[in-house]
């Protein structure tokens, strides 16, 4: 579709926020990760790599506890408060990226979605940004980077939760991503003894007994649902890497194709 390779990267709410608390951002992690993204894009430019980036972030403590309240009450008010909370985190991340010289563009699924399962409007918004890039990629700061996030969506009838993980697998498939990375607070998928599983075939997910939800409040299924979604993506021919984005330089390494510890979910 594009001459440029598309990289899709999700930074988990487990990295950007303290998931044990409510609305607790990890400002230093946000700064470090933004800096690594900026440095990687600078490297892309210096080595004339024609690449584009789609960023997605999770909600962490700026969404899961609020969404839990909404799921209990069913009230529109609680749904909107969930959206507003995750927008606060998005604003912090986008502002930090801008400070580092990345031309980040916030895209809020709530404002874009037309129906619960209809990704068309979201595709169009992201495509509009990527198309603008396809013409020019002379300077790293010129490359526009859409920044999406897990959100509440409204289908004209009811409010639903759309996880950042689902956005990742959808956009990666739609834009035929060259590389897909999902950063969390763990090195990848761990076995029952806490050892890293380096590779999982998409057909083998259900055999991994250690795969659970999240140790924190998480309304979108934690690691188990994440790996199921990535397995679905792999079944379409797109591999992905789960890695620990809390480890300094991991994001830079992912974006510049250096060797990086993690779990690969494969075809």
- State which of residues 60, 65, 109, 262 lies at the interface with ligand ATP (CB under 6 A): 60
Number of residues that bind ligand ATP (CB under 6 A): 24
Cα distance between residue 77 and residue 190, in whole Å: 38
- Under the binding rule (CB under 6 A), the answer on residue 212 touching ligand ATP is yes
Pick between residue 151 and residue 218 the one whose CB is nearest to ligand ATP. 218
Four-residue CA torsion sign, 159, 165, 168, 170: negative
- Under the binding rule (CB under 6 A), the answer on residue 71 touching ligand ATP is no
Per DSSP, helices labelled H in the chain are: 13-16, 27-46, 64-73, 76-99, 109-112, 120-135, 164-174, 222-234, 250-255
Residue 203: how many other CB atoms lie within 10 Å = 12
Pick between residue 109 and residue 164 the one whose CB is nearest to ligand ATP. 164
- Under the binding rule (CB under 6 A), the answer on residue 189 touching ligand ATP is yes
Residue 99: how many other CB atoms lie within 10 Å = 13
Phi-psi region of 120 (alpha: psi -120 to 50; beta: other; left: phi over 0): alpha
Residue 53: strand pairing partners = 7
Which residue stretch of 54-62, 83-91, 151-159, 172-180 sits at the interface with ligand ATP (rule: CB under 6 A)? 54-62
* Terminal alpha carbon distance of the chain: 21
Which residue stretch of 8-16, 88-96, 135-143, 253-261 sits at the interface with ligand ATP (rule: CB under 6 A)? 8-16
- Under the binding rule (CB under 6 A), the answer on residue 65 touching ligand ATP is no
- Under the binding rule (CB under 6 A), the answer on residue 190 touching ligand ATP is yes
Q: Which two tokens stand for residue 10?
A: 């999700």
Q: Which of residues 115-154 bind ligand ATP (CB under 6 A)?
A: none
Residue bearing tokens 């959100």? 151
- Under the binding rule (CB under 6 A), the answer on residue 59 touching ligand ATP is yes
- Under the binding rule (CB under 6 A), the answer on residue 206 touching ligand ATP is no
**Interface positions with ligand ATP (CB under 6 A):** 12-14, 58-60, 64, 164, 184-186, 189-190, 210-212, 214-216, 218, 220, 222-223, 226
């Amino acid at each position: 579709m594009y001459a440029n390779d598309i990289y899709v990267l999700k930074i988990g709410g487990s990295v950007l926020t303290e998931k044990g608390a409510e609305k607790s951002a990890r400002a230093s992690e946000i700064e470090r990760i933004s800096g690594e993204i900026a440095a990687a894009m600078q490297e892309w430019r210096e080595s004339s790599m024609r690449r584009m980036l789609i960023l997605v972030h999770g909600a962490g403590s700026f969404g899961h506890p609020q969404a839990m309240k909404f799921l209990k009450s069913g009230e529109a008010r609680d749904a909107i408060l969930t959206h507003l909370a995750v927008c606060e985190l998005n604003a912090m991340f986008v502002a930090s990226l801008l400070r580092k010289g990345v031309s980040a563009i916030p895209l809020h699924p709530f404002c874009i979605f037309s129906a619960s399962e209809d990704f068309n409007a979201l595709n169009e918004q992201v495509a509009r940004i990527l198309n603008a890039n396809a013409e020019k990629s002379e300077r790293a700061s010129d490359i526009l980077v859409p920044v999406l996030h897990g959100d509440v969506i409204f289908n004209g009838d009811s409010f639903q939760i759309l996880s950042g993980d689902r956005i990742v697998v959808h956009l990666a498939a739609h834009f035929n991503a060259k590389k897909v990375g999902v950063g969390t607070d763990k090195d990848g998928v761990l076995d029952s003894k806490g050892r890293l599983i380096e590779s999982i075939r998409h057909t083998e997910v259900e055999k991994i007994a250690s795969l659970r939800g999240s140790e924190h409040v998480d309304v979108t299924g934690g690691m188990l649902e994440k790996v199921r979604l990535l397995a679905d993506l792999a079944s379409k021919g797109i591999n992905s890497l789960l890695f620990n984005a809390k480890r300094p330089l991991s994001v830079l390494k992912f974006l510049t194709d250096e060797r990086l510890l993690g779990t690969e979910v494969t075809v």
